[in-house]
Amino acid sequence: MVSVERSGKMWGRQGLIIVYFAVILFLLGGTAVILLNSVWRLVGRQKDKQLPGYEDAEWV
């Protein structure tokens, strides 16, 4: 019985570590996607500004 309890505790600790890393990776991935998205948008705007008629198109 003691070995079962001990293995259960160890699995609980491992599970917590796995969940912890999953949350960190999820948050890092989310922030990376948001940053890439905003950078992509800025780059897209810079390219659009070079096109003629950009100002007219923006305010439509």
Share of the chain above pLDDT 70, in %: 60
Closest CA to 49 of 59, 38, 39, 58: 58
Spatial contact of 48 and 54, defined as CB atoms under 8 Å apart: yes
pLDDT at residue 26 greater than cutoff 90: yes
C-alpha–C-alpha distance, residues 51 and 57, integer Å: 10
User: What is the reported pLDDT for 13?
Assistant: 79
User: What is the reported pLDDT for 55?
Assistant: 58
Query: Could you tell me the residue ranges of all domains in the chain?
Result: 24-60
pLDDT digits (tens, 9 = 90+) for 30-59: 999 999 999 999 988 877 666 666 555 555
Length reported for the chain: 60
Look at phi and psi of residue 51 and say left if phi exceeds 0, alpha if psi is from -120 to 50, else beta.
beta
